[in-house]
Homo-oligomer: A and B are copies of this chain.
């Protein structure tokens, strides 16, 4: 939370990141930096109602249920998604602020980032 001097370039190309900030952001990025998890994020986020049951997700992959469960846990631990059990099924939702935070890192200062 430092300079907001001019509108020039993405924060990441703007001033040196502190080691602490870099470590914290790397955790978020590492969670996102996997083909399966990117697809899970996009499937959850674009699902009608904004949430998806694990059973909706598993079939799209050639992976076992425990593997999908593992990837969901990685995303949840990083704070990119959250889960809720309703009866037999567990539903996952995107955490919008986490996504926004990633976007802000690479995007040239737009006022739209915190919107809606």
Known contacts A17-B38, A23-B35, A39-B22: A12-B99 contact under CB 8 Å? yes
Chain B residues closer than 8 Å to A110, beta-carbon distance: 107, 110, 112-113
Contact call B29/A14, Cβ cutoff below 8 A: no
A31 CB, min distance to chain B CBs, angstroms: 8
Known contacts A22-B38, A32-B29, A96-B9: A16-B108 contact under CB 8 Å? no
Counting contact residues on chain A (CB < 8 A from B), the size range is 35 or more
Which chain A residues (69-109) contact chain B, with CB distance < 8 Å?
94, 96, 99-100, 102-109
Tell me, in angstroms, the Cα distance from A3 to B7 when the chains sit together: 28
Tell me, in angstroms, the Cα distance from A52 to B19 when the chains sit together: 18
Chain B residue with the shortest CB-CB distance to A42: B17
A42's partner among B15, B29, B44 (CB-CB below 8 A) is B15
Chain B residues closer than 8 Å to A32, beta-carbon distance: 29, 33
